Amino acid sequence: MQTNWFARPVLHVKDVETSIRFYVERLGFTCPWRYDEDGVAQVDRQGCALILADTWPEKIGKGLMFISLNVEPHSREATIGAVDALRAELEAKGVPVKEGSWGYRLLVVNDPDGNQLFFNYPPETAS
């Protein structure tokens, strides 16, 4: 029997409403559900699902999320193009995007609370 896993990491935030606005209006996510009385909501974009929660104040802004863009047809050039297009999309919406590295090139986006989203470029190939 084969089982497919699905992960929904939790990002801890000060204010769920402010975070939903950022993720939806600036990063292009949707918000399929929220429970205001519990201080929790989910945001989605293209198979990436994140839980936003204000339930543990001591954990606010300490999240780090790697998000890979799976491009079809899969090629290094197509993936670079997709990450570059994402950068242009986010910058056009006023989102500060930084270059980063974790042994390979990244785009880094901080949410309003300091949680970091790392969008990775494909690794360099030896010539």
Output the 3-class SS for 40-55.
EEEEEECCEEEEEECC
Question: Residue 104's pLDDT is what?
Answer: 86
Q: Domain spanning 10-120: which superfamily?
A: 2,3-Dihydroxybiphenyl 1,2-Dioxygenase, domain 1 (3.10.180.10)
Question: Residue 71's pLDDT is what?
Answer: 84
R_g over Cα of the chain: 16
Question: Residue 16's pLDDT is what?
Answer: 97
Q: Are 80 and 121 a contacting pair, CB within 8 Å?
A: yes
Question: Residue 125's pLDDT is what?
Answer: 59
Question: Residue 60's pLDDT is what?
Answer: 97
Interval 43-79: pLDDT, tens:
999 989 999 999 999 999 999 999 988 888 788 888 8
The residues spanned by each domain of the chain are: 10-120
Residues of the chain with confidence (pLDDT) below 50:
none
